[in-house]
Amino acid sequence: MPADGSVGAPSDPAMWRDAREWFARQHPAIPQHERDARARAFRVAGITSVNLVTEVHQAIARAIADGTTLDDFKREVGAKLAEAWGAPNAARLETIFRTNAQAAYNAGRFAELNRPAMKAVRPFWKYVAILDGRTTATCAPLQGTVRPHDDAFWETHWPPLHFNCRSTVVSLSRAEAARAGGATPVPKAVAPGKGFGTRPDLAGEMLKPTEKAPEAVQEAAQERSAQGPSTPSGRSPQVQAEPVPHPFQPTGTPVSSAFEMSPSAAKHGLDEAAKAVDRVHGDGVLEKVKVETTPGRNNHGEFNYTRFGPPDNIRVALGSSAPRISFFHEVGHLIDCYAIDPPRRGYSAAVSEAPEIQPLMSAIRSSAPIQYLEKLSKRSVVIAPEREGGPRFRHPVDKGHTNYLLKPQELFCRAYSQYVALRSGDSVALQELSRLLRVRLPINYPEHWTDEEFAPIAREFDRLFQAHRWMTPTPPSTPPGTPS
């Protein structure tokens, strides 16, 4: 947490959006609700008024969303809490603020590290405690503990482990874990404080929020209720991990038949990337296009075409950090220009405004990352830390880059590249996607989506490609994902 007492939320929406959503699910509760676990309830010690607890909840929610400071929090609710307690208590106020902000932060981090694509390439987690004169006997022995992401240790030792806990968890690749000596034994340590340490996804049942609870809390409760009861173990039902074979099979001409693959492109694995596209959908007989590589490092790839003529080439930079995702992206431009009706009219998502593509574009534009980009495009600066947890500075917004990312054809192709990576299950592409999804400071310009954010977009791609007869439902006798 920054020295100025702010929550220190970075401008990147990914982790802090998860943190905000988690905190919104903490419904205001009072002491007699003993059956409600701390992991699902938001309480304030010594307060029996649900309305006042709700006010405190809203103040902390604003701090998490906007990065406001401890002083702002004190101004909002300090006097009311002092009246309810019978006297001011600055230490208690700070504990409420810091503990809840850190709990939200670590819940957001759990959501980030728990993405299937992330776990596939960074399957080990490491407990990180801040070692100084304030480190507790609970956290100090756990510093540096490395365990697999699915180890039972994390079920009971997910920070915060006590009031004012400053610990967190980071992910490691297999190579990083090996260099650190591999998984470490679970150290003997003081048990987490009562109500602390439970992994965010393992909480028990929720009570219904009060009518005075924030609207976001009400909506989260309704959504959870609609999902049905939890599993017998008390855990919330788990979503099946992506990528999974989808219940469709490609039909028509394989997309790869349109590619004239150069020796360099094949050498660098783009022929395997083409097979991944084939596993997802057919193409409606695309015209031939050359697939080449370029030595460039600044650009990931490019698609060259004549607006009313045949496609020229797809080029992928050898220095690209995500060559398969880049290739899928340029194939998206090919599909956009030459396969979505009416063809050969430029970028159909941007120029021809083909009615059939509009539900897909609507799903893309309404997603959280794109909504964030829209807001970012209207700002000139963002106040954010140079590094996570550091002091905050004013950073100018790159309007040119933001506007480029918001172009309809770029939205379409970035979504298409993620769709092919997920639906094909290509391990190399998924690793690339995981790297692209990592948090970047001070300003993040999100280009891709979490699995949850992408689900509505994937469904619209399914509908679009079924309408074009590029894929059909897999017969019951055929294993899902089996190419035709």
**Greatest mean pLDDT range, 376-390, 448-462, 465-479:** 448-462
Helix (H) or strand (E) holding 164: none
Q: Which residue has the higher pLDDT, 441 or 267?
A: 267
Contact 460, 366 (CB under 8 A): no
Backbone angles phi, psi at 412, to 5 degrees: -60, -50
So what's the pLDDT on residue 222? 52
Instruction: Classify each residue of 109-122 as buried b or exposed e, where b means 16 or more C-beta atoms within 10 Å of its C-beta.
Output: bbbbbbbbbbbbbb
CA–CA distance, 219 with 224 (Å, rounded to integer): 9
Give residue limits of the domains in the chain.
Answer: 13-225, 248-473
Strands (E), 266-420: 289-294, 301-305, 311-317, 381-385, 392-396
Confidence of residue 364 (pLDDT cuts 50, 70, 90): very high
Q: Please determine, for residue 243, whether its predicted confidence score (pLDDT) is greater than 50.
A: no
pTM of this structure: 0.52
Instruction: Provide, rounded to the nearest whole percent, the portion of the chain with pLDDT above 70.
Output: 69
Contact 23, 100 (CB under 8 A): yes
**Among candidate residues 438, 384, 382, 444, the one with its CA nearest the CA of residue 8:** 384
DSSP per position, 217-256:
HHHHHHHHHHT-PPPTTSPPPPPPPSP---SEEE-SSBGG
So what's the pLDDT on residue 397? 87
